[in-house]
Amino acid sequence: MDDVAKYNKERWEELAKANVPFSRPWLDLDKKTTRKMIDPHGMIDEIAGKNVLCLAGGGGQQSAIFALLGARVTVLDFSETQLQRDQQAASHYGVKVRTIQGDMRDLSAFKKDAFDIVYHAHCIAFIPDIHPVFQEVARVLRTDGLYHLDFHNPFTQGIDKEHWNGHGYLLKLPYVEGAQTVPRDYSWDIQSEDGTKRRVRGPREFRHTLSSILNGLIKQQFVILGLWEETSGESNAKPGTWQHFETIAVPFLSLWATYRPYVFIK
């Protein structure tokens, strides 16, 4: 692991132990209704029997859904605590989930063409260079396999609900690929399920421009199937709240792509 990975692993261990929402296993899933949670746009034809990699996706959330729907699920994450949550969820539902500790940029634990689906939940902002990830995903995906990626909207990354100034949310940071978007002392405010709050120092985060993401995928011979914005749509939300921020400065994007190495690219 390089210095960024070591630092962010340490931060995620503390965040997971503080029970940040991304580390809370989903233990009340209904098999009949959960598919839309991972595939709201109907991009996956069939899940049962597919080999699925939840990439840097520990926490006992998406892995539990895929396993309940009959997939053979592997989770790779660098946090031991996050992986423990996947095993907790698997045990709860009586399903099997394989967990492997590792860095999303190094998938050497897996053979070529090992997976039908790679599901990459929101985490690519925690590395400064995305291209090794895309290269590795292309290697482990089968031809016509599916890749799902959640990521920060690069145009609004680095601002938050606290940046409301009475008129809007100001863009302040240079739009530079790979630039760090949070200060080193940046902390997450975590509200526990019992209502108590605590602050935990967060991981380092980096901006990845839309052109870098899309062109990086195209270079690895992915075909983009769709791109979506994630917003609450609560137009009457109070300014300075997360719900209002989402309607003005959409924070997250997601895409589906398919790996087609037979496509000719100059």
What are the pLDDT digits (tens) for 55-79?
Answer: 999 999 999 999 999 999 999 999 9
Neighbours of 228 (CB within 10 A): 13
pTM over 0.75: yes
Q: Average pLDDT of 233-237? A: 77
Tens digits of residue pLDDT in 71-114: 999 999 999 999 999 999 999 999 999 999 999 999 999 999 99
Strand 187-191 and strand 252-259: pairing?
unpaired
Which tens digit of pLDDT belongs to each residue from 132-157?
999 999 999 999 999 999 999 999 99
Average pLDDT over residues 108-136: 97
Q: What is the mean pLDDT of residues 110-138?
A: 97
Helix H segments across the chain? 3-17, 35-38, 62-68, 80-93, 131-140, 210-219, 242-248
- What confidence tier does 264 reach under pLDDT thresholds 50, 70, 90? low
Q: Please state, rounded to an integer, the average pLDDT across all residues of the chain.
A: 93
CATH for 3-33+45-259 (2.40.160.210, 3.50.40.10, 3.40.50.150, 3.40.190.10): 3.40.50.150
